[in-house]
Amino acid sequence: MEIVLLLIQIPLLIVIIRYIRKLHTNSLLINSYYYILSFKVTAGFMLGIIYFNYYKNGDTINYGKDLDFLSGIFYSDFKSYLELILTGKTASEVKTGLINYRDIRAFAFVRMISPFYIISGSNYWICSIYLSLFSFSGLWILSNKLFKIYKVKPLALLISFFLFPSVIFWSSGMIKESIAIGMIGFISSIILDLANRQNNFTIVKFFLLLLFSYCLFILKYYYFAVLFAIIVPYGLIKYLSLRIDLFATNKRYRISALILLILLLVFMASFFHPLLHFDKISEALYLNYTKSLNKSTIYNSYTFSGLTSDPKSFLCHLPQAIIYGLFGPFLWQTYKLITTLNGIENTILLILFVTFILNSIKTKEINKTDIEETSIVIYIFILAVFMAFASPNWGSLVRYKIGYLPFFLLLILNSNPIIFQLEKRFSFLNLSEKKS
């Protein structure tokens, strides 16, 4: 059976790849489709190679072992396999054979991708391709929505979603972030369609929205919480601005209503669940902070001097958190080759950010800020701060940044003068040529 499944992989992958390409044939990014897809798949392979040959251990290796174990159950006892995948419950002897059984989110990931692993012929590398394709397709669809609806610059989308090293690497292969960023892309695309009254809201879209929202909540609840706390108010205000003259003609009303609605949702959420109360959030963050710090060494971690579980203490360290969340690690904080590469990348990111700020002030581009830019800034700010506090480990932080790094890049690149220069230099990519 596994041999048969392996034999059908090439024609199946060709069909899927060609289908993804045809989802939005009028996109300017179609010119570079096969190049960036190749980078994505290669990054997934590189992630596996590095973990298997350099680290010798880690999440992706343990996922592979659990998936092999589940594949064995699938062929020997399908009823038990189905019960385990659907409910997470199984016999005690099966539990002992699973590495991630006690880790709720890790085991949920294994259960989600197990059917695809079996379809892949129980082959780690082929399954890696499918996960990379899913991640790619979510960002691909979102990038086309942003281009078609908001006229975002194609090169800014190309770099932010498909060419920036950390974005490619940490959203590819057999890791939770691969399907998390793919689901963020799909969810955002569907809600943007609704908000802008684009296309029909079909039963299929409704089902996918529910499915991906649930899966994202299980895998990365913090991504889910921040995404919906921002995109739902944005979608509502955007929808109303297309129907009510007061919102359509007055930008200040739109932005004020957006911020008030976000604050109202956050305030209401603190009453619905005790863990969402502000004091409890700071306690949970501090607990994660101390746990992560205890597992790290001085060479791959950072600290917030004098940090306590008091919310006021977190406010005092807010500037450091946002700097680390966006630009850490800096070159002088790196000791290994991989973190040094991250340091170089973050230096480039900092240069792009400074260029963006200076250009916005000079051209008064900042005065054009609307609910789109406001939503992205709030989304990035919240996740950057939370990730910096919750995981004071450079390796973990670089990985968790995948939830907001593509959008931060897009924010600082879309009206960046560097983009105009790159468009001239890379004109051979035909980024200005529109496909029909």
- Give yes or no for residue 94 having a pLDDT over 90: no
- Give yes or no for residue 214 having a pLDDT over 60: yes
Position 364 scores a pLDDT of 82
- Asked if residues 167 and 405 have their Cβ atoms less than 8 Å apart, the reply is yes
**Residue 197 and residue 195: Cα distance in Å, rounded?**
6
pLDDT digits (tens, 9 = 90+) for 350-359: 999 999 999 9
pLDDT band at residue 363 under the 50/70/90 scheme: confident
Residues 6+ apart with CB under 8 A from 391: 288, 289, 292, 397, 400
Residues 6+ apart with CB under 8 A from 145: 188, 189, 192, 193, 198
pLDDT digits (tens, 9 = 90+) for 164-182: 999 999 999 999 999 999 9
- Give yes or no for residue 435 having a pLDDT over 50: no
More confident residue, 217 or 431: 217
Q: What percent of the chain has pLDDT over 90?
A: 54
**Residue 158 and residue 431: Cα distance in Å, rounded?**
10
Q: What percent of the chain has pLDDT over 70?
A: 93
- Does the pTM surpass 0.85? The reply is yes
Position 2 scores a pLDDT of 64
Please return the burial class of 328, using the count of CB atoms within 10 Å of its CB with bins 0-12, 13-18 and 19+: buried
- Asked if residues 21 and 150 have their Cβ atoms less than 8 Å apart, the reply is no
**Residue 70 and residue 113: Cα distance in Å, rounded?**
11
To 5 degrees, how large is the angle CA 64–CA 70–CA 74? Answer: 140
Closest alpha carbon to 430 in 14, 59, 54, 29? 29
Q: Which residues of 38-50 are buried (b: 16+ CB within 10 A; e: fewer)?
A: ebbbebbeebbee
The overall average pLDDT reported for the chain is 88
Distances (CA, A) of 50 to 140, 166, 209, 268: 26, 14, 34, 44
Position 436 scores a pLDDT of 38
3-state secondary structure of 364: coil
All structural domains of the chain with their residue ranges:
274-429
pLDDT band at residue 83 under the 50/70/90 scheme: confident
- Asked if residues 411 and 349 have their Cβ atoms less than 8 Å apart, the reply is no
For 280-302, what is the mean pLDDT?
87
Position 433 scores a pLDDT of 47
128-132, 159-163, 320-324, 339-343: which has the minimum mean pLDDT?
A: 339-343
Position 8 scores a pLDDT of 87
Residues 6+ apart with CB under 8 A from 296: 392, 393
